[in-house]
Structure 1
C-alpha cells in the first residue's frame, strides 16, 4: 500500500520522505547508540558498514517511489509534449496558411498597382507619341514659314528697284511689311511652343521611366512572392536562413509603398493632362497661325492687284496723253512751218512797198508831195511790219509750246517706262513669286 508521504508527483517526491527514515551511512552506524545498537568488542568488525533491515526496506521503498515519480513525471511530460506538438503543429499550419493567404493578398495588391502602372505607362506612351507627332508638325510648320518670309523679303527688295515717282510707300509695301512682321511673330511663337513641347516630352519620358522602374520592381516582387507562395513543407529547395527573420533598415511600410506608386501615377496623370492641353494648344496655334498667314497673303495679293490695276490705268492714261501730245506736236510743227512761211511771204510785199517809197523819194521839187499814195504806202509798210511782228510772236509762242510739248512727251515716255518697270516688278516678279506661297495645310505642319 502506498504511503501518504510518497503521494506526490515530479522530482519533489523524494524530498517528502522524513529525514529519520533515510538510510544511515557507515560512520553513522558506527556511532549509533540506539536501542538496537551493538557496541561490543566482539562484533565491532562485522557492524561497521552494514544497514539495518528497516534501512534496507526504507531504501527499497525510496527506490520504488523514485521510479514511480519518474514514470509519472515522464508520462506527464509525454502527454504535455504530445499536446504541445499538436498545438505547435496546428499553430504552425495556421501561421503558414495565414502567411500564404497574406502572400495571396499581397499578390493581389501588387497585381493591382502593376496593372495601374502598366495602364498609365501605355496611356503616357501613347500621349507622348501624339505629342512627338505634334512636335514634328511644329517643326514642319516652322520650316514652312521660311518660304513666305523669303517671298516677302524678296518682294520688298524687288520693289526697291522701282524708280522715279513710283518709288512710293504704297498700300502694297505696308501690307508686305505687315506680312513680314506677322511671319516673324509666328516664327517666334512657334519656336517658344516647340521649346515648351520638347520640355513636356522630356517630362513625359521621365515620368514614364519612373513608372517603368516602379513596374519593373513590382514585376520582380510579384514573381518573388509567387515563388514564395509556391513553397510548402514538401518543397525540396527550402533551407535555413538564420539572418532572414529581421526587418531591413531601408524597407518601406505598406502605406509608403502604396503612396509611392500613387504619387508616380499622379505625376504621370498630371503630365499627361498637361500634354493633352499642350497638344490642343498646338492644334489651335497651327490652325490660327496658318489662317492668319493666308489671310495676310490674300491681303497682300489684293493690294498688289489694286496697285497693278492703278498702274495699268495710269499707264494707259499716260499713253493716251502721249498719243495726243505726239499728235499735237505734229500739228504744232506744221503750224510753225506755216508761220515761218507766212513770215517769209511778207518779205516780198514789204520789199515792194519799201521800194515804192524809196523810189518816190526821188520825185523833184514840189512833186515830193504827201499824197494819198504816200500815206497808203507808209500805212502798208506799217501794216506789213505789224503783221510780221504778230507772226513772229505767234511763231515764238508756237516754238515754246513745241518745246514744252517735247518736254512733256519725254516726261510721259519716262513715266510710261517707270510704270512699265513697276508693273513688271509687281506682276512678273512679285506676283509670280507669290504663287509659291504655302497652303494652309503646309503651314499647319502636315
Structure 2
C-alpha cells in the first residue's frame, strides 16, 4: 500500500512531462514558424527595396551616361565657337591693313566688334554651363554611390534573411551561437531603417531630376547661342556686302570720271597744239609788217616821213602783237586747265587704287574667310560628331 503513492506520482510525472514537452514543443514550433514567416516577409520587403534601388541605380547610371554625352557635346560646341571667333578677329586684322583714307571705323567694323563681344559673352555662358555640368556630375556620382552602398547592404541583408528563412531543425549549418541574442546598442529601429531607405531614394531622385532639368536647359542654351551668333554673322555679312557694293559703285564712278578727265585732257592738249599753231601762223604777218617798216626806214631825207602807210604799218604790228598776246593768254589758261586735269587724274587714280585695295580685302579676303563660317547646327552641337 505504501508503494502505490510513489507509483502514482511517477505515472503522473511521466504524463505531465510528456504533456509539457508536447505543449512546449508545439509552442517552440509555432514560434519558429512565426519567426520564419516574419523573416520571409522581411526578406520579401528587403527584396522589393533592393529591386527599387536597382532601378534607381540604373536610372542614375543612365542619367550619368546621358549627362556625359551632353557634357562632351557642350565642350565640342565650345571648340567650334573658336571658329567664328577666329574669323571675326582675322577680318578685323585684315581690314586694319586698309590703306590711307580707306582705314575708317565703318559699319562693318562696328558689327565685327559686336560679333566678337557676343562670342565672348556666349563663351562665358557656356563655361558657366560646363561648370554646372561638372558639379552636377559629381553630385550624380555621389548619389549613385550612396544608392550602391544602400543596395549592397540590402543585398547582403536579403541574402542573410533568405538564408535564415530556409533554416530548420534539420539544417546542417545550425549551431549554438553564444551571445547571438544580445542586441547592439547602436542597432537602428525599423522605423529609422525605413526612413533612411526612403530618404536615400528621395534625395537621389531629386538629384536625378535636377540633372535632367539642367540637361534640358542645355539644348535651349546652345540653340539660342547658335541663333544669336548666326544672326550677328548675317548682320556682319550684310554690312560687308553693302560696303563692297558701295566701294564698287565708287570705283565705277571714279573710273567714269577718270575716263572723262582723260578725254578732257586729250581735248585740251589738242587745243594747246592748235593755239600754238595759230600763234605761229602770225609770225609771217609780223615778218611782212616788220620787213616793210624796215625797208621804209631807208627812204632818203624828207621822204622818210610818217605817212598814212607808215601809220597803217604801225597799227598792223600792234594788231598782230595784241592778237598774239590774246592767244598766249588763252594758251596759258589751257595749260592751267591741263595741269588741273592732270592733278585730278592723279587724285582719281590714287583713289581708285586705294578703293580697289580695300575692295580686295573686303571681297577676296574677308568674304572668303566668312564662307567657312559654321552653320547654326554645327554651333549648337547638333552636327558635331
Q: What range is the shorter-chain TM-score in? A: over 0.9
Judge which range, 161-170 or 365-374, deviates more: 365-374
Aligned partner of 2:30 among 94, 97, 104: 94
The question of 1:158 aligning with 2:90 is answered no
Tell me by how many angstroms 1:362 deviates: 5.3
* TM-score under structure 1 length normalisation: 0.80
Higher Cα radius of gyration = 1
Equivalenced residue count is 382
Where 2:181 maps in the other structure, the secondary structure is: coil
Is 1:336 aligned with 2:260?
Answer: no
Asked if 1:272 is matched to 2:208, the reply is: yes
Q: Output the CA distance in 2 between the equivalents of 1:181 and 1:376.
A: 89
Specify the alignment match of 2:321 in structure 1: 385
TM superposition shift of 1:359:
4.6
- Residue in 2 that maps onto 1:298: 234
Give the Cα–Cα distance (whole angstroms) in 1 for the partners of residues 184 and 305 of structure 2.
162
Give the Å deviation of 1:180: 1.4
CA RMSD of aligned residues (A): 2.1
Q: 1:342 to 1:95 in 2, by over 3 A?
A: same
| Aligned ranges 1:145-184 → 2 under 5 Å | 145-184=81-120
**Bigger helix fraction:** 2
Cα deviation per residue 1:379-430 (whole Å; 9 max; x = unaligned)?
3333222222222222122112111111111121112111221221111111
The unaligned stretches of length 5 or more in structure 2 are: none
Residue by residue over 1:133-187, the C-alpha shift from the partner in whole angstroms, topping out at 9 and shown as x without a partner, is 1111111111111111111111111111111222122221122111111112222
Take 2:92 and 2:13, find their aligned partners in 1: how far apart are those partners?
113
350-359 vs 268-277, which deviates more? Answer: 350-359
**Deviation for aligned residue 1:341:** 2.1
Cα offset for 1:348?
3.0
- Cα distance, 1:210 vs structure 2: 0.7
Match for residue 185 of structure 1 among 118, 121, 140: 121
Mark the CA change 1:72 to 1:379 in structure 2 (over 3 Å): closer, same or farther: farther
* Match for residue 427 of structure 1 among 358, 363, 366: 363
CA distance in 2, matches of 1:104, 1:376: 155
- For 1:74-113, what per-residue CA distance to the aligned partner results, in whole angstroms no more than 9, with x for missing partners? 5554454334323322221222112111111211221221
1:116 aligns with 2:52: yes
Distance in 2 of aligned mates of 1:395 and 1:77: 166
Paired residue for 1:134? Answer: 70
Could you tell me which residue of structure 1 aligns to residue 181 of structure 2? 245
Structure ranking higher on relative contact order (CA contacts 8 Å, 6+ apart): 2
Residue 249 of structure 1 and its aligned partner are, at CA, apart by 3.1
- Aligned equivalent of 2:340: 404
1:313 to 246, 249, 253: 249
- Tell me which residue corresponds to 2:221: 285
Unaligned runs of at least 5 residues, structure 1: 2-63
Q: Which moved more, 1:385-394 or 1:215-224?
A: 385-394
Q: TM-score, normalised by structure 2?
A: 0.92
Which residues of 2 match residues 221-240 of structure 1 at below 5 A?
Answer: 221-240=157-176
SS in 1 for 2:374: coil
